[in-house]
Every structure is written in structure tokens, then in C-alpha cells.
Amino acid sequence: MDVTTWYLEQTSRSDLLTARPPAIEVDIVRAEIVSPEFSRFLNTAVGGDWHWTDRLPWTWQQWADWLERGVETWVAYYRGTPAGYVELMPGDDGAVEITCFGLLPWAIGKGLGGHLLETGTARAWDLAERQPDREPTRRVWLHTCSLDSPVALANYQARGFRIYDSRLNVPGDEHEGPTPGPWPGAGPRLRRTPGASPDAG
């Protein structure tokens, strides 16, 4: 299966464009404690339906080593329940990568994606204010691919990200078979389960 990967960037804080308010009111907070368990939960809960498989073999220690490199995880909550997250990795020369971004299935379609991406990107731009040993952010970048949500690329571009490169069949992007879901045998859950609506009551 051919997979196209797009690389996008912002090179100025002024590139960031405002999103519409979401249909539900959420709190977006930083997970300040290094927690491999929580980060793995977010990665599988959000990415299980989109072929996010590269971290599935990671051990607890590999997760801890990754997070201790200065990674920031910003989580959207609705009524105390995770709705989505943004993961930021600071790099060299003032570059910050959005390494993960997405929503849990129940939160899709509520207008939350643009708002969460705007907030996460803003936190990438002011990351050095929380990590004074870092250089001020000069560039925010990310990549997405044609296996991701069909609205992902448009959402990034609507927030002011520009494509600077695209490649076909990047190593590691070749996937066959069904998506793994958040645990073995779960399968895709692109719609929330009946009776699980957070808007009920």
C-alpha cells in the first residue's frame, strides 16, 4: 500500500491561526509527572485506529527515557475524561516537534481538533518559558501521512502549518491488515460506543 507522508512547519509564532471554539468545553492541561503508563494509554487510545504502531513494542524504560528528554504532554479533558492530547518534543536550534496529536474516538466530530491543535502549537511556541535551559522556539514542525485521519492534513494547514516536503513510502509507514485498536483484538473504534456519550445527562 502506498503511503504519502507530509512534513509541515511554522517558522513564526504569527503563523498560528485561531480555531473556532469547540462544541464542548474542555480543559487542556499539561501532564507534568513522567508517566510511561499514561503516555502509552494516550498513544494507543488515540492512535490505535490510525496505524500508530511504532511505539507498541516499547518497554516501560523506553517510554521513561523518551519522556525524560523534555517531552511535554498536553491533555484535553471533558468532565474529567481524556478527550485528546498533543505531545511536544524540543529539539536543537529552537525546533519543537509535535510528535503526537489526536482525539479519542468519542471526541471526534465535536469541533475539538482545531482548538486542541491551536493550544498545543501555542505551547510549542512558548515551551522555553517552562524549560529555561532551552533556546526560544524558532520553528514548530510535524509530519502526518495518508494513513492518518482524513481531516488531519487540512486541520494542520488551517492552523497555519505549511507543507515543506512530502515523500512516498517512508520506511516504517508501510502497514498491512486492519488497525490494531488500543489493545490486541480491539479493532477500529472510529465511533464511540452506544451509551457512552459524554453529553448525556
> pLDDT tens digit string along 96-149?
999 999 999 999 999 999 999 999 999 999 999 999 999 999 999 999 988 888
Nearest residue to 137 via CA among 152, 148, 145, 126:
126
Q: Do 95 and 141 form a contact (C-beta atoms < 8 A)?
A: yes
The three-state secondary structure class of 129 is helix
| Rounded Cα–Cα distance for residues 61 and 44 (Å) | 17
In a domain, 137, yes or no: yes
What is the per-residue pLDDT across 32-88, written as a single tens digit (0 to 9) for each? 999 999 999 999 999 988 888 889 999 999 999 999 999 999 999 999 999 999 999
Q: Residue 72's domain is classified under what CATH number?
A: 3.40.630.30
Residue 190 within a domain: no
Residue 80: domain span: 4-168
Residue 81 lies in a domain: yes
Which pTM does this prediction carry?
0.88
Residue 197 lies in a domain: no
CA proximity to 66, closest of 42, 82, 84: 42
Query: For residue 178, what pLDDT is reported?
Result: 62
With respect to residue 100, please indicate whether it lies within any of the assigned structural domains: yes
Q: How many domains does the chain have?
A: 1
Q: Is residue 177 part of a domain?
A: no
Q: Does residue 179 sit within a domain?
A: no
Determine, yes or no, domain membership for 65. Answer: yes
